Amino acid sequence: MKSWLTTTDHKRIGLLYFWTAFAFFLIGGLEALIIRAQLVRPEGIGVSAETFNQLFTMHGTTMVFLALMPLSAAFFNFIIPLQIGARDVAFPRLNAFSYWVFLLGGLFLNASFVAGPLFGAGQLSVAPDAGWFGYANLTSRQFSPGPNVDFWLLGLQILGIASLAAGFNFVVTILNMRAPGMRMLRLPPFTWMTLITQFLVITAFPVITVALVLLMFDRFFGTHFFLPSGGGDPILWQHLFWMFGHPEVYILILPAMGIVSEVLPTFSRKPLFGYTVVVYSGVVIAFLGWSVWAHHMFASGLGPIADSVFAGTTMLIAIPTGVKIFNWIGTLWGGQIRFTTALLFAVGFIAMFIIGGLSGVTHASAPTDLQQTDTYYVVAHIHYVLFGGTILGLFAGMYYWWPKMTGRLLSERLGKVHFWLTLIGMNLAFFPMHLSGLLGMPRRIYTYSPDLGVAGFNLVSTIGAFLVGIATLVFFWNLLRTRWQPVNAPANPWNGATLEWAIPSPPPVYNFTVIPTVANRLPLWQTERHGPMAPLPERPPAPIHVPGGSWWPMITAVGLPIMAIGALSHFLPVVLAGAVVAIVGIYGWAFEPFEM
């Protein structure tokens, strides 16, 4: 137990990230199922409007910040040091700090579901309820007097710290901890996409930090940053949020693109088609991702010039994205394809992401977007890219890397059941939303009239959502089965080409008995140009120093939610107590001897 609390081992932190994020994924999924149950027929009466607002807000917030980002982080942690031939990340304690901050921030946000009585309200009444992008002035004290929005803004502020710390850590890890010979253009594509993602994190998160600070001042100290009554402009919130929010969607999708770029070559027995082009188009996507934020705001009346510019840049993004899609298809073309579950999910990713990408291009046109804004069409789009894209990609990664992470193989039979149920379920759930949206069903309504004519589509959506729920339980069962009925995995069960497959499954604590020297992009493969690298010795020829654990990252992290609780209850001494805990943690950390 203590060894897990103080761990600085990237592999353990990766597993902690995985299970924590998976738990939040189940919670977010449960929220989605309640939403769908409510909407299964017109004039549903399962939950009140107030509860419904909390459910969709927490569903969005949970999935984006507590499930998808940290599930990607689970792979960053576990896989990146292995792929670049390192013994750990550049800053192991900072890595532990990121995890604890993420966990505590997630618990803080979700505590809002049960914290009602502490604020003289009922259960299920103080969770965030202003939507996952918290538009002003729904978030103002005037229209949201309770602690709901405070939970949201303080929780996101905490989570931002976790992401930023991890961002600096992985930028340095990938650039500076590579094994000899691992040049930048020999990095596996997943590592490349992670590097690009982290650059987006360290540039985009400061913007949301500022936006949340301003919102905090509005709510706690009576300023008018987003309040027209004092001359402020609610539109500024939209700008700041989406300047973060659009890079954020690439933060969510690029790691999945990286995973798919690993899975497809392995199961096609072909190198990734156009590796350099895939890498550079990732860079271009990130760059353009910073220049399109206002396409979320066409309905706010930006004027013809801004509309045209942002419509143009948004359409441009389709080019590097399309390039990647052709490269993935080119990788499959003529390959000796093995239809494993990981490959099925990767192919599913390509197909579903194309649908989501195409509906995305339809919102790039400002006049069309005006028809689509705030309808279920947008909900359909975001779910095709974030579920059909990111989650299918992450599932591909789970089937691919689970043997490496745990030393146990997942059941392929259950995996295929999982895949087909997921694919059918998600299309039943999300495809009809395009149609209900175009017919005029607004998003975020807790009930609707039978006269709207969308009852049939909603019934199908709900059936699909529950199929996805069942599929996820099948997957959960598959994960648990690897503990109860283990099937041990060899070092390289899929005949992968990258360094993580050169070491046993699960890897020993020191990862590599000797740090490998890399001579090419596919070190474990026999190609026409080179043979596989020599196997590493089974035992380390020299003793390897492994750093011990540290309590300080967790102690420092604990200070943050204490400060947030103090702010939430408007009680300054608690804020100061939290600050003291964090400062003690930082000093303990700085003066602790910690040899790498």
Partner 1 sequence: MAHDTHAATHHHTSMGLDSRKMAFWAFIGSECLLFGSLISTYLVYKGRSLVGPYPHEILNIPFTSFSTFDLLMSSLAMVLALAAVQRGDMKQGKLWLLVTALLGLVFLGGQFWEFSHFVHEGLGLTTNLFGSTFYVLTGTHGAHVTIGVIWLLTLWVQALRGKLGPANAMTVEITGLYWHFVDVVWIVIFTVVYLIQ
Partner 2 sequence: MSEQGQAHATTGTYLRIAAILVMITLIEVGVFYVPAFQAVLVPVLLVLSAVKFTLVVMFYMHLKFDNKFFAFLFGGPLLLGLAVVVSLLFIFYGTVRLRTGS
DSSP 373: T
Q: Which of residues 571-590 bind partner 1 (CB under 8 A)?
A: 587, 589-590
Q: Does 187 bind partner 2 (CB under 8 A)?
A: no
Q: Which of 302, 382, 499, 563 binds partner 2 (CB under 8 A)?
A: 302
How many residues touch partner 1 under the rule CB under 8 A: the total is 48
351 binds, among partner 2, partner 1, none (CB under 5 to 8 A by kind): none
Q: Which of 5, 34, 40, 202 binds partner 2 (CB under 8 A)?
A: 202
* Shortest spacing between CB 198 and partner 1, in angstroms: 9
Q: Which of residues 73-112 bind partner 1 (CB under 8 A)?
A: 90-91
Q: Token digits for 287?
A: 């760059």
Q: Does 169 bind partner 1 (CB under 8 A)?
A: yes
Instruction: Pick the closer one to partner 1 by CB: 190 or 419.
Output: 190
Q: Which of 44, 48, 107, 224 binds partner 1 (CB under 8 A)?
A: 224
Q: Does 305 bind partner 2 (CB under 8 A)?
A: yes
- Say how many C-beta atoms besides its own lie within 10 A of residue 303's C-beta: 7
- In degrees and rounded to multiples of 5, residue 570 shows phi and psi of 55, 45
* Shortest spacing between CB 435 and partner 2, in angstroms: 33
Q: Token digits for 358?
A: 């195409």
Distance CA(43)–CA(49), nearest Å, equals: 12
Q: Token digits for 90?
A: 């550049």
Instruction: Pick the closer one to partner 1 by CB: 49 or 210.
Output: 210
- Taking CB under 8 A as the binding criterion, the range among 12-20, 205-213, 310-318, 442-450 that sits at the site for partner 1 is 205-213
Q: Does 319 bind partner 1 (CB under 8 A)?
A: no
Distance CA(501)–CA(349), nearest Å, equals: 24
* Shortest spacing between CB 303 and partner 2, in angstroms: 5
Instruction: Pick the closer one to partner 1 by CB: 27 or 159.
Output: 159
Alpha helices in 439-486 (DSSP H): 455-484
* Shortest spacing between CB 590 and partner 1, in angstroms: 4
Q: Which of 59, 178, 219, 239 binds partner 2 (CB under 8 A)?
A: 239
Name residues whose C-beta falls within 8 Å of residue 65's C-beta, 6 or more positions apart in sequence.
106, 156, 159
Decide if 461 contacts 432 (C-beta within 8 A).
Answer: yes
Distance CA(436)–CA(460), nearest Å, equals: 11
Distance CA(140)–CA(145), nearest Å, equals: 8
Decide if 289 contacts 317 (C-beta within 8 A).
Answer: yes
306 binds, among partner 2, partner 1, none (CB under 5 to 8 A by kind): partner 2
Owner of token pair 């360290």? 202
Q: Does 171 bind partner 1 (CB under 8 A)?
A: yes
Q: Return left, alpha or beta for 575; rule: phi > 0 is left, psi -120 to 50 is alpha, else beta.
A: alpha
* Shortest spacing between CB 419 and partner 1, in angstroms: 38
What's the chain's length in residues? 596
Instruction: Pick the closer one to partner 2 by CB: 243 or 385.
Output: 243
Residue 488 β-bridge partners? 408
Distance CA(587)–CA(582), nearest Å, equals: 9
- Taking CB under 8 A as the binding criterion, the range among 24-32, 135-143, 218-226, 484-492 that sits at the site for partner 1 is 218-226
Q: Does 141 bind partner 1 (CB under 8 A)?
A: no
Q: Return left, alpha or beta for 588; rule: phi > 0 is left, psi -120 to 50 is alpha, else beta.
A: alpha
Measured CA to CA in angstroms, residue 153 lies from 31, 217, 244, 408 at distances of 20, 11, 14, 40
* Shortest spacing between CB 195 and partner 2, in angstroms: 12
Decide if 515 contacts 179 (C-beta within 8 A).
Answer: yes
Instruction: Pick the closer one to partner 2 by CB: 296 or 408.
Output: 296
Tell me which residues touch partner 2 (CB under 8 A). 175, 199, 202-203, 207, 233, 235-236, 239, 243, 290, 294, 300-303, 305-306
Tell me which residues touch partner 1 (CB under 8 A). 90-91, 164, 167-169, 171-172, 175-180, 182, 202-207, 209-211, 213-214, 217, 221-225, 230-233, 236, 240, 243, 587, 589-596
